[in-house]
Amino acid sequence: MEISIGVMIKSVQEPRSDKTSPKVGAVLVHSDGTIETAFRGELRQGDHAEFTLLERKNRSNPLDGSILFATLEPCAPGARRHPKLGCAERIVNARIKKVWVGIEDPDPTVDRKGIKFLLDHGVEVEMFDADLQEKIRETNKRFIAEAQERAKQSEEENAFIILSEKDQGETRAEISDLSPVHLDSFLTKAKLNVEVGTGGFNRIFSQLGLIGEKNGNYIPTGIGLLLFGSRPQLVYPHALIRATHRTTGRGEDIETIDGPLIEQADKIQSWYETRIGKQIDRSKSERQIIYDYPLIVFREAIINAIVHRDYDIEGAPIYFEINDNAIIIKSPGAPVRPLRIEQIKQFSAPSLSRNPKIMYVFDQMELVEQRGLGFQTIKELPTKYKLPLPLVTFEDPYLVFTFPRSGEGLRHISGGTPVSSLNNEELRGYDFVKLKGSLTRKEYEEHFGFERKKAERHLKTFVELGLVERKGAGPSTHYETITT
């Protein structure tokens, strides 16, 4: 991964002033262990890094079982003008065994389609580590911004791979089912100088995959209806949030959050703010509201659920609950391939969107922060807010995040498990080990400023409870989290 990023920097800008070329590096690891590298434009202007490796440097060489690392998602079938093949097709044809991908294609209309093509054709796929993804995005900041803008203007055909049934035209809906108010809001925020119903609007929304054609007439796609429909639940009754506030002695307060997706985020936040406890901080010149559970963490978590849930799972809404011990979010859908539940549990999962077009619209409307911020905010819970990390489970078909509201709340939730026997100080220590994955006693000691004996006592407790495994001996001794 690091070698491919080093090669990426050498990429050659094409001789044109209207468009920034992406900087892309690639590394090919042959089955015998030897490696070759390539970067965009290395041998000819405009040639993709993968094309340079597979076709120019290895046209006559068998590549069965090789592994490819590429800093940008290989382009999908249909993304290049006929008769050119997409890089994903060339990879499959070359019988590459596994591909490591840096970041998704920044164009929301083709994002993740190259990855899906590889997976569908038996190629293993992994994503680069999150910190390396940030390096790639920073290096390609200008290209990414331009690619997202071009998605609004391009008249070219996009890759013909379907990520979701909702990418297709929804025959049960009409353009009049879309909310003019929400459409205008998006057009304004996205700086699109067109009016609803005009030819310019139809062209741009068709390109973005938000409307399609049927019998010469425009109709919303499922994604378009979910995002902007006046009442999308008439067609997709599961596209909502079931919110519950459950407290001892007060029973249950239940509410249904519906409407278009771009409205649900603010609706659920307003509901949350009126149910969660809060205090007024008057210690500064401007008084501040301090919520019993940080608002920024909740908002990132619930928006991630709205943006990344699987809308193809019928009958499965998002469930959101506040109770005395925890805040629980149940989002339909297993982690999107190639992400794994183990990565989610350790909050180390790379950035990858299940619904790129929804993510794009939320980004344009400033409803989401930069990619990767959600996990970063969660990882700050123990240090910044003195709160436990959430518990992550998959209870088919739901990915469940349980955010304990305190150490006592975590012990209550974890009743009968080893975690329930830890005190608050040990809980913070265990959370640190979980985030690191692997560490030495010295790292643990220095992070908390503990004396050596105290650090050893904590780590010994974690080992005895079966939460952490001790490995190595002498100076090489380290401790690794046991993922369950």
471 belongs to a structural domain: yes
23 belongs to a structural domain: yes
Residues 251 and 319 in one domain: yes
265 belongs to a structural domain: yes
Give residue-wise pLDDT tens across range 188-204.
999 999 999 999 999 99
Q: Before 180, cis peptide (omega within 30)?
A: no
The whole-chain average pLDDT of the chain stands at: 93
158 belongs to a structural domain: no
* List of E strands, 182-333: 211-214, 217-220, 241-247, 251-257, 278-281, 288-291, 318-323, 326-332
DSSP one-letter string for 275-298 = HS-EEEE-SSSS-EEEESS-HHHH
| pLDDT tier for residue 17 given thresholds of 50, 70 and 90 | confident
Residues 256 and 287 in one domain: yes
| pLDDT tier for residue 483 given thresholds of 50, 70 and 90 | confident
| pLDDT tier for residue 77 given thresholds of 50, 70 and 90 | confident
Residues 201 and 259 in one domain: no
Residues 251 and 227 in one domain: no
In the chain, what percentage of residues exceed pLDDT 90? Answer: 83
| pLDDT tier for residue 230 given thresholds of 50, 70 and 90 | very high
Amino acid 75: pLDDT:
93
CA-to-CA dists, residue 307 to 134, 362, 421, angstroms:
20, 8, 36
Residues 464 and 345 in one domain: no
Give residue-wise pLDDT tens across range 131-147.
999 999 999 999 999 99
Rg (CA), the chain: 25
69 belongs to a structural domain: yes
Q: Residues 76-105: what's their mean pLDDT?
A: 89
Q: In angstroms, how far is CA 55 from the centroid of its own chain?
A: 32
Residues 257 and 373 in one domain: yes
Amino acid 448: pLDDT:
95
Tell which wins on pLDDT, 289 or 47. 47
Closest to 330 measured CA to CA, from 394, 409, 426:
394
Cβ proximity of 29 and 67 under 8 Å: yes
298 belongs to a structural domain: yes
Amino acid 81: pLDDT:
64
Residues 247 and 393 in one domain: yes
Angle at 442 between CA 439 and CA 446, to 5 degrees: 105
Closest to 301 measured CA to CA, from 286, 285, 322:
322
Residues 45 and 135 in one domain: yes
Q: DSSP character for 209?
A: T
Amino acid 375: pLDDT:
85
Residues 227 and 257 in one domain: no
| pLDDT tier for residue 277 given thresholds of 50, 70 and 90 | confident
Task: Give the domain-ending residue among 412, 427, 448.
Answer: 412
Cβ proximity of 300 and 373 under 8 Å: yes
Amino acid 82: pLDDT:
61
Task: Give the domain-ending residue among 126, 153, 180.
Answer: 153
Nearest 10 degrees: Cα torsion 102, 106, 112, 113: -120
Give residue-wise pLDDT tens across range 91-122.
999 999 999 999 999 988 889 999 999 999 99
Q: Residues 458-477: what's their mean pLDDT?
A: 95
**Is pLDDT above 80 for 416?**
yes
Residues counted in the chain: 484
Q: What are 394's strand-pairing partners?
A: 399
The secondary element (H helix, E strand) that includes residue 359 is helix 356-364
Amino acid 303: pLDDT:
95
Residue 204 is part of which domain span?
165-234
Residues 101 and 250 in one domain: no
Residues 51 and 130 in one domain: yes
Residues 249 and 356 in one domain: yes
160 belongs to a structural domain: no
**Is pLDDT above 70 for 274?**
yes
Tell me which of 109-113, 172-176, 246-250, 469-473 is least confident: 246-250
**Is pLDDT above 70 for 323?**
yes
Closest to 362 measured CA to CA, from 136, 126, 108:
108
Q: Residues 368-376: what's their mean pLDDT?
A: 72
Token pair in block for residue 193:
């100088």
Cβ proximity of 440 and 478 under 8 Å: yes
CATH code (residue 451): 1.10.10.10
| pLDDT tier for residue 289 given thresholds of 50, 70 and 90 | confident
| pLDDT tier for residue 18 given thresholds of 50, 70 and 90 | confident
Amino acid 302: pLDDT:
95
CATH code (residue 303): 3.30.565.60
**Is pLDDT above 90 for 50?**
yes
Tell me which of 15-24, 164-173, 230-239, 322-331 is least confident: 15-24
Burial category of 475 from C-beta neighbours within 10 Å (exposed 0-12, middle 13-18, buried 19 and up): exposed
Task: Give the domain-ending residue among 234, 256, 279.
Answer: 234
> How many domains does the chain contain in total?
4
Closest to 12 measured CA to CA, from 29, 31, 25:
25
Q: Where are the alpha helices (DSSP H) in 56-215?
A: 87-93, 113-120, 130-139, 141-153, 180-189, 199-207
